[in-house]
Amino acid sequence: MWADPARRVVDRLRRREIAPAEVIDSALDRIEAVDPLVNAVPTRCVERARAMARDLARDLAATTTTATSPEDPAWLAGLPVLIKDLNDVAGVRTTYGSPLFANHVPNADDLVVRALAARGATLLGKTNTPEFGAGAHTFNEVFGATRNPWNTARSAGGSSGGSAAALASGMAWLAHGNDLGGSLRIPAAFCGVVGLRPSPGRVPHSDRLTPFSPLNVDGPMARDVADLALLLDAMAVHARADPLSFPTPPGTFQAAAAAPTRPARLAFSMDLGLSPVDGRVRAVLEDAVKRLEAAGFEIEDATPELSDAVPCFQILRAHWFATRLGPLLAERRAEMKPELVWNIELGLALSAEEIAWAERARARLVADSAAFFETYDLLLTPTTVVPPFPLGQRAVEEVEGHKLATYIDWLVLTFAITLTGCPALSLPAGQTPEGLPVGLQAVGRPRGEAALIAAAAALEEALEARLERPIEPRVAEPDDAQAAPSQLGAPEVAPPSAVTTPPVKSLERRLREGLEQMPAAFALWGEDDRLIIDNAAHRRLFGDVGSLFRPGVSFREVLVGLLDRGIHQPEPGQEREDWIADRLAARHNGDLRREWQMPDGHWLRIQETRTPGGMTVTLGLDITDLKGKERELIQERDVSETASQAKSQFLARMSHELRTPLNAIIGFSEVVRGQLLGPIGNDIYLGYADDIWASGHHLLELISDILDLSKIEAGTFTIHPQPLGLGDLLEASVPFVRARAKARGQVMSLEVHPRLPRVLIDRRAAKQILLNLLSNAIKFTPQGGRIWIRLIRRDADVVLSVKDNGIGMSQEDVARALEPFGQIGGGESWLTPNTEGTGLGLTIVDALVGMHGARLEIDSAPGEGTDVRVVFPPPTQASR
């Protein structure tokens, strides 16, 4: 009988095929046979159970046997149930797992015990728990350690480890537990059974010290989902003594379990972005996901935003312990286990600011999770980050090479869900190669237990991993390292010395809060290349693969994940391991900046900077919009350059085509002016010939300038710079324009400083620069004006200055003069012979100066004159 499902035994009890006393005897026989090997049920209340069974049998004699409502005493019909030793049972030794209460016997049942008794449960015994439920490994100084039935040298989990081990080994059909950070789910995972953390208020909770806290809840444990639903129906009572309690909706949870429902949208996260996961657990969960997908479940990689969960839970949990046990610490500190002392002291040291931050953080987690479940019906994760660990360890200290700071860090996948207020259960997902159970955590919508149970029943069918019948304990001889923790005494290093103190925790929390406000992605990697901290923007930046970045993950693991998901690819012909080695080497050799495009099309820019202490800081941005604008600019530039080159080529062709007729016209005008074919006889015609000759030369000069400018714009104007002395070139060029200046009555002075360095310049371009500047000075200097030409040294530079006291220009006119055809004043057409120059002189000078790495400076004022300077750098700078 002890091996049958609870619902089958209850059905037989309801039909009176068996009596409650027979069922109690079956359970006691099994406990006597098995518990010495497992140590799960240290306290039994046989006489109380028998008395309850007799009273119940008498009450049921006059009733029907259908029990259609959980409120009916026939709902459990006398089935024995085990109660965790944290809950009061009247007249039964209740120790809370602490030597301080080793002989404590309460006078009254608590709320959940009362509810179970009212619905037909007989309370057969108390199951083992850690001291005051602190920790997820069940051992204490009163009763010792509870062993895992699958391997008695391994932990049964906690803090409801006694209940889970009793179920797995057949000592109970149904068992009670409670859950703060995973105490129902973790032992269920370790022992291959099912445990449900209901929504706060679903099951009444007796709590005189923290009645409004949603952290700690009572809940059911069973061998499969259907039996779990049977017990939840018996527990879910609206109790006025619990301020969080709420009425139970119509229908039963057992009916939900009997109608397995496949969720429409399932999300899965291997680590919730919070922790490394043991490779053995990861392998079982990956296989479970594949089996679910093969069964037709549609599963997406997704997780709610939970990045603040660790500091938030640490603060709220410490505050909870300090509230409940702070006064006891002052009186009995030496009798408490060190982990418990640390937790209470941590809570007592918290500031109001830290508690306020944690409450705000929890509010954000609740809101973000509610929004997440608007999209998804169910969230799946591993229940634990490790499989059952050796019995002699007080807690998990390391996961995949990542050292854990506190004895509760390894509970992160369950305590993060606690903060959301959502119901969550653990059911078997499979086993490691050593035969140790691994649990799958399923999280539902707030107060959505019925839907969660219906979905869990469907998952259970698909996975075929339910515990069909209890197992015989698999006895393994523990070595010294696996001895019970209570036999090992206190840890060599007490947890407080290994854990960040509250002030530093406050700084860490402030740092994290500040990082979350950064628009840029941020990550900090330790000297061992493992992730220490990052912000949500960093995980969002990587989209669907953001889940790769979890605290403690190595950069190598991230690279492997990026390769597996096709984000990166080795170079053609390059081996995968060689690519990883090159990437790691580049990271360690100093600062690194990379850009790449993700498969979904968006672009990332990542900057990695090595700190003096050997850590690495990663900053990242989404540059998709920037890349789009860059492409637009490139396209516009290409179009512009193509148009400019076409224009320049057209002008060059036209210039060549115009030269021939112009030369013919100029030649004909020279024949007429010189009367080479005989006297003209009319001075008017000679005047016309002079005008034609002048206009022809003007147009020829214009065409030459246009040709030069078009070549510059098209990039076909070639120069051959060489070290030249500008003094010699200047003295050779001045005579070409001196006659024009003299004809206008202008005085031209030349000053060349001795021992000037040579400059790097093309000879032809240099002469063109000089002649254009001199011609402009003559053009804009009135009759009798002065022009000063100086070649001097300014520091290492050589400066050519052409200054006049001519008409001058405003700053607006200076800018216009540098534009093609930028004639100023007068408004005459550039085709008229009376206009000196082409309007392209300064434009060409500016272009030629820039081609040589020099710069053009112009100072001018209307009515005062103009000073144009060309500043040539030394040859070594000009050539850069």
Residues acting as catalytic residues:
84, 159, 183
What does each C-alpha distance from 43 to 164, 508, 765 come to in angstroms?
A: 15, 44, 105
The residue among 104, 417, 458, 79 whose CA lies nearest residue 271 is 417
Torsion angle in degrees (nearest 10) through CA of 335, 339, 344, 350: 150
* CA pseudo-torsion sign 839, 844, 847, 853: negative
**DSSP assignment, residue 713?**
H
**Tokens coding 601:** 């099309």
The residue among 223, 239, 242, 243 whose CA lies nearest residue 231 is 223
What does each C-alpha distance from 81 to 6, 205, 233, 426, 489 come to in angstroms?
A: 10, 17, 14, 20, 33
**Tokens coding 238:** 């609206």
What does each C-alpha distance from 615 to 516, 528, 539 come to in angstroms?
A: 20, 8, 19
The residue among 646, 758, 656 whose CA lies nearest residue 713 is 646
Give the residue carrying structure tokens 């901290």.
Answer: 533
SS3 242: coil
SS3 696: helix
**Separation between Cα atoms, residue 325 and residue 679, nearest integer Å:** 130
Any alpha helices (H) in 73-160, and if so which ranges? 111-118
Give the pairing type, strands 299-301 and 266-268. parallel
What does each C-alpha distance from 703 to 656, 824, 838, 839 come to in angstroms?
A: 8, 20, 9, 12
The residue among 711, 835, 854, 727 whose CA lies nearest residue 776 is 835
| 451 contact partners, CB below 8 Å, separation of at least 6 | 256, 261, 377, 444, 445
Give the pairing type, strands 759-761 and 786-794. unpaired
**DSSP assignment, residue 247?**
P
SS3 487: helix
What are the CB-based long-range contacts (under 8 Å, 24+) for 30-33?
A: 30/2, 30/169, 30/170, 30/171, 31/125, 31/166, 31/171
**Separation between Cα atoms, residue 13 and residue 80, nearest integer Å:** 11
End-to-end Cα, the chain, rounded Å: 93
Q: How many CB atoms lie within 10 A of CB 285?
A: 23
Torsion angle in degrees (nearest 10) through CA of 690, 694, 700, 701: 160
What does each C-alpha distance from 394 to 157, 320, 493, 501 come to in angstroms?
A: 11, 22, 12, 21
Give the residue carrying structure tokens 């709902």.
Answer: 75
Give the pairing type, strands 266-268 and 378-382. parallel
The residue among 742, 796, 797, 806 whose CA lies nearest residue 773 is 806
Reading across the β-sheet that carries 616-622, which strands appear in turn? 531-534, 521-525, 616-622, 603-610, 592-597
DSSP string spanning 825-876? SS---TTSTTS-S-S-HHHHHHHHHHHTT-EEEEEEETTTEEEEEEEEPPHH
E-strand stretches of 485-588: 521-525, 531-534
**Separation between Cα atoms, residue 331 and residue 118, nearest integer Å:** 38
